[in-house]
């Protein structure tokens, strides 16, 4: 059974304090690893897709990386507007293309 585990569940940072969120996955052949951002009262918003170990994607203060077992979302010098829940999801090559989602990391950045 495919599994995606995110840690930590919650993270509080001061503005400018860089950190990383972790997403560990167990799938039968990774097809794609996705990161989403979800603001309160809204649906998740797509951020990145990673397909193979060693791949990296960047967008403003966010950088996503991928290894054979996990993905990291690095947040550099975060601002209060980066506060949100970050979700990761994985699809496997042996299945139906339906992504398995992690429970998310709730990030709060204090000014």
| Contacting residues toward another protein, per CB under 8 A | 31-32, 34, 36, 41-46, 49, 87, 89, 91, 96-99, 101-104
Helix H, strand E, coil C: the string for 36-102 is EEECCCCCCEEEEEECCCCCEEEECCEEEEECCCEEEEEECCCCHHHCEEEEEEEEECCCCCCCEEC
Q: Closest CB to another protein among 49 and 76? A: 49
- Taking alpha carbons only, the member of 72, 66, 56 closest to residue 105 is 72
Closest distance of CB 11 from another protein, Å: 17
Q: Are 25 and 71 in contact (CB under 8 A)?
A: yes
Q: Closest CB to another protein among 41 and 111? A: 41
Q: Closest CB to another protein among 20 and 93? A: 93
Closest distance of CB 77 from another protein, Å: 26
Q: Closest CB to another protein among 18 and 93? A: 93
Beta bridge partners of 14: 110
Closest distance of CB 111 from another protein, Å: 26
Closest distance of CB 28 from another protein, Å: 15
């Amino acid at each position: 059974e495919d599994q995606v585990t995110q840690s930590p569940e919650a993270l509080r940072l001061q503005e400018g304090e860089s950190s990383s969120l972790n997403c560990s996955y167990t799938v039968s052949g990774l097809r794609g690893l996705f990161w989403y951002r979800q603001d309160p009262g809204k649906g998740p918003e797509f951020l990145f897709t990673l397909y193979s170990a060693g791949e990296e994607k960047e967008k403003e203060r966010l950088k996503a990386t991928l290894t054979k077992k996990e993905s990291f979302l690095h947040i550099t010098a975060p601002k209060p507007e980066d506060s949100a829940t970050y979700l990761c999801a994985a699809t496997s090559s042996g299945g139906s293309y339906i992504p398995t989602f992690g429970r998310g990391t709730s990030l709060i950045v204090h000014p």
